[in-house]
Structure formats: C-alpha cells, structure tokens
Amino acid sequence: MPHAIVIGSGFGGLAAAIRLGARGYRVTVLEKLDQPGGRASVFRQDGFTFDAGPTIVTLPKLFEELWSLAGRRFEDDITLKPVEPFYRVRFDDGETFTASRDPETMRREIGRLAPDDVDGYERFMAQSKAIYGVGFEQLSNQPFHSILSMAKLLPELFRLKSYRTVYGLAASYVKDPRIRIALSFHPLFIGGNPFTTTSIYCLISHLEREYGVWCAMGGTGALVQGLAKLIEVQGNTIRYNQEVTSITVEGGAATGVKLASGETLAADIVVSNADAAWTYRHLLPAEVRRRWTDKKLGRARYSMSLFVWYFGTRRQYRGVPHHSILLGPRYKELLRDIFDRKVLAPDFSLYLHHPTATDPSLAPPGCDTFYVLSPVPNLAGGVDWAHAAEPYRRAISDFLGRTVLPGLEENVVTSRIVTPQDFHTRLRSVLGAAFGFEPVFTQSAWFRPHNRSEEVDRLYLVGAGTHPGAGLPGVLSSARVLDSVVPHGADLA
C-alpha cells in the first residue's frame, strides 16, 4: 500500500487520515503534542475536564460520514446532545437575547426586543438559506485549484451579495442595533471581523437552524478520541511528540518529512494539517515556493487571536446557559482595536462556556467547569502577554463576578490561561493567530492556500488555514476535498 504522512492531528488531520485510510493508504499521523486534537485538545486539572477549544458542534453528518468510512456506527461511540436554546447574548445594559432553533420562539424573541424587525429577520433567514445552498453545499466541497472554478461561481456570489460584509448584510434587513449584533457576530467563531468578513458567512444562521447546535457528552474531546480510535481501527498509526521540521522534496514532489529528532520518513504523499502559513514559511524550502513566498506570507492578513481562561468553581452556577455571549460597551470600535489597530483594549466582549450545564461529569460533584474567551489582537500587535495576562484575567473575572457569576473570584478552585503566545509556540501558528488566515474575500476559495499544494506535487493541505477555512465544518470539509484531489491508493501502488 502507498504510504501517506499526515502532519498534525487537529480535526482536519484526523479526518484526512481516516479518508486516506479508506482510500487504500497506509497512514502515519505525526503530532507534535502528546495527544490528538490540536486546538481541540483536552486537559484535566484538579478533577475538572476542560476542552481547550471548540465547543459548538454543528453539522453532525460530517462526523457520521467519517465513522461510516471506517466501517463503524457514530452513535455506538458518541452521544451528541442538542443544546437548546443555542446561546444567550447579554448586552452591556443587562438586556438579553436568547437564540434558539425553533422559528416561532425566535420570532417572539426578536419581537420582544424589536417588533419592527420581525419581518426583516424572516427575510434575513431566507437569504441565509440561499447563501447556505451555494456557500456551503457548493463552495466548501470543491477544490479551488483554478481561477476558472472561482470565476464560474462569481455571478451566483454576486446575486447573493457576497460583496457585502456579514454585518452589512444583517444591517440591511434589521434596524435594532442589538438584533444587528445578534445576527452578525458569528464570524468571530472562525476568526473573522463581522465588519470585513464576506456575507457568505451569514450561512451560519441557517446551518444552525436547519441542523442544530450540539455538544458531545464527555466533551468535544470525546469526538477527538473517537476519531483517533477510527484511525487505529483502520490499522493506521498516530505518533505523538513528533514535530516535523521539514517536508522533503525531490524533483518537484514531496517525498517525506524530517522530524526534530533527526529521523526522516519517506512517503508517497504528504498531507499537512499544520497551520498553512507555517507549513509554507517553515516546513517547505523557500526555493520551491513560487506563490506562497515569504513576502506574500508577510503581507497576508491573519485572524485575531484569543485569550482563554479555563476555571473550575467550588459551587455551581445554575441558570448560566451552556453558551453565553457577553458583550461589552463597544462593538465596531472594539473590533477595530482587535483587527486593525491591534491594541489590547480595556473593554472586551466574551464567550462563556459552561459545559457542566449539560454534562455534570466534567467537574467534581457540586462544582462547575467553565472557560471564557476574549478575542484579542494577534502577535502583530506586540502585546507582552507575560505581563498583560494576569491583569487581563483579573479584569475579566471582575466583570463576570459583577454580571453573571456572582462571587466568582472567591469560588475559583482551579485555573489556567492560554494567550496568543501559546498559539504560536504550542500550536505553531504564525503570529499566534487562532484561526489561520483571516476569512476575507481576498483570502477565500482560490485565493486561499489550495488543498492540493500549488508549490510541489504530492503535497496536500487540510485544516483552518486552507480552503474552505476554520471551524469544525470548515476543517472537516477541507479533508473531504482531498477525496477529489488525491489519487486513490490503488493508483499509486
């Protein structure tokens, strides 16, 4: 059987390994860390279980497909539970907006805050559905190797107003500033500024309503472990604590990899799930790169980063939902600070994750597990996180204590912080960007690093930095694209 090497075991790498295993390859996954999952790795501390990254699971069918490719049934290994309502948005004045799956409940909630926006909301949802049909069903599944494939879709993208931004499109349907925010913040989950991200990402509203918002019992880590097990079931291997330092190239084709230990491994194909910019900047020699030169990578726009505080409390906070968005006093200007000015603002908007609201097994009895994340500038902003982290955490803790988690600071029994510096050093992400390249139109589809490398043969890319982009549906789709660009193993044998 031909040998495939997959660099990295994020969701994209795990999915790629399973797809290659099902298509006649012997697969070796090489992972720098001591566990699978990448951004979705798990840590356990003082009896609490923390998912480090993704918590909102959408489009379960993408996971089910991987299980069936490995000859197993998804529901035998994983229990998904619907999260309903989806999330609660809390505005700075204390008013809230609860998003749920049921259209009638949503109409009532919009009507409660802004009766004049109910019609506009309905029309926005119809537009979101139309965008989903093209943006997800047609765009995410196909490779964009040629500019022609992009050109063919342009009339359709124009018809769907993709030249507008997510916020711009939402604001063209509804007037209330709070509803505009509630319908437009989603790009922040995939590294985009709602004021610059193409309105293609308005598809998320339809995707959530049509397919639901889910969480895995046992945490997102259960999905990671499940995928790692499928790789084993296929007879393939994941090797941990193995950092790839270069991709070897001969005669214009990838021939294998070199590890930090000095070991070299030969392969018929190489798939990189490492950060796409890092792959080109650090793993592939400059002399073989024509498109992704250091200069182009230096000029690219990288997503924002994240400050994440994981904490466990000795008491339970009943009534705090599984997912909350806690908005500060500023929206557009805060986003400008994060994405454009790249300064660490004194105010923030937060996402609060409270998994024990659904699955108490993630904390000791009577306790609660949380994480709170704040979008912050990537390392291009030059923030000195060694000094900034603790005062920033304290400010967030004070805010949470004043708003949704009274008495927080006295009740914290375990705590851990992740800063943009960790995205850089631990996950090897250029500028510590949490989501790779920023999802602006000029860095999407054909303009993004292709799934079949433009630089050398037999090299492929999956994960957040390549097409279609970040988020679980995006990275799982990037692996699905491989099926149409990687030759079947039997053709290489």
Ligand X SMILES: Cc1cc2nc3c(=O)[nH]c(=O)nc-3n(C[C@H](O)[C@H](O)[C@H](O)COP(=O)(O)OP(=O)(O)OC[C@H]3O[C@@H](n4cnc5c(N)ncnc54)[C@H](O)[C@@H]3O)c2cc1C
For residue 486, the 8-state DSSP code is S
Choice from 6, 427, 445, 482 touching ligand X (CB under 6 A): 427
User: Residue 216 or residue 344: which is nearer to ligand X going by CB?
Assistant: 216
Q: Which stretch binds ligand X (CB under 6 A): 210-218, 290-298, 384-392, 471-479?
A: 471-479
User: Residue 420 or residue 489: which is nearer to ligand X going by CB?
Assistant: 420
Q: Are 268 and 4 in contact (CB under 8 A)?
A: yes
Nearest residue to ligand X by CB is 10
- 């989603």: which residue's tokens? 186
Q: Which residues pair with 250 in a beta bridge?
A: 253
Q: Which stretch binds ligand X (CB under 6 A): 67-75, 110-118, 402-410, 469-477?
A: 469-477
Choice from 27, 244, 338, 350 touching ligand X (CB under 6 A): 244
Per CB under 6 A, 472 contacts ligand X: yes
Per CB under 6 A, 243 contacts ligand X: yes
Per CB under 6 A, 202 contacts ligand X: no
DSSP string, 264-328: EEE-SEEEE-S-HHHIIIIIS-GGG-SSS-HHHHHHSPBP-EEEEEEEEESS--TT--SEEEE--
SS3 157: helix
Per CB under 6 A, 373 contacts ligand X: yes
Choice from 2, 21, 54, 143 touching ligand X (CB under 6 A): 54
Q: Which residues pair with 461 in a beta bridge?
A: 272
Q: Report the side by side order of strands in the sheet with 237-239.
A: 237-239, 26-30, 3-7, 269-272, 459-461
Question: Taking CB under 6 A as the rule, which mask of x and - marks residues 115-154 in contact with ligand X?
Answer: ----------------------------------------
Nearest to 59 by CA among 209, 161, 226: 209
Q: Are 183 and 176 in contact (CB under 8 A)?
A: no
Touching ligand X, residues 278-317 (CB under 6 A): 306, 308
CB of 318 to ligand X, least distance (A): 23
User: Residue 70 or residue 475: which is nearer to ligand X going by CB?
Assistant: 475
CB of 35 to ligand X, least distance (A): 8
Choice from 2, 10, 226, 256 touching ligand X (CB under 6 A): 10
User: Residue 31 or residue 359: which is nearer to ligand X going by CB?
Assistant: 31
Size of the site for ligand X (CB under 6 A): 36
- 């018929």: which residue's tokens? 268
The DSSP element (H or E) to which 44 belongs, if any, is: strand 42-45
Question: Taking CB under 6 A as the rule, which mask of x and - marks residues 436-465 in contact with ligand X?
Answer: ---------------------------xx-
Per CB under 6 A, 189 contacts ligand X: yes
Question: Taking CB under 6 A as the rule, which mask of x and - marks residues 17-36 in contact with ligand X?
Answer: -------------xxxx---
User: Residue 35 or residue 105: which is nearer to ligand X going by CB?
Assistant: 35
Report the C-alpha gap between 106 and 402 in whole angstroms. 28
Report the C-alpha gap between 246 and 249 in whole angstroms. 9
Burial 162-188 (b: 16+ CB within 10 A, else e): bebbbbbbbbbbbebebbbbbbbbbbb
Give me the residues that bind ligand X (CB under 6 A), please. Answer: 7-13, 30-33, 38-40, 53-56, 189, 243-244, 273-274, 306, 308, 373, 427-428, 434-435, 463-464, 470-472, 475
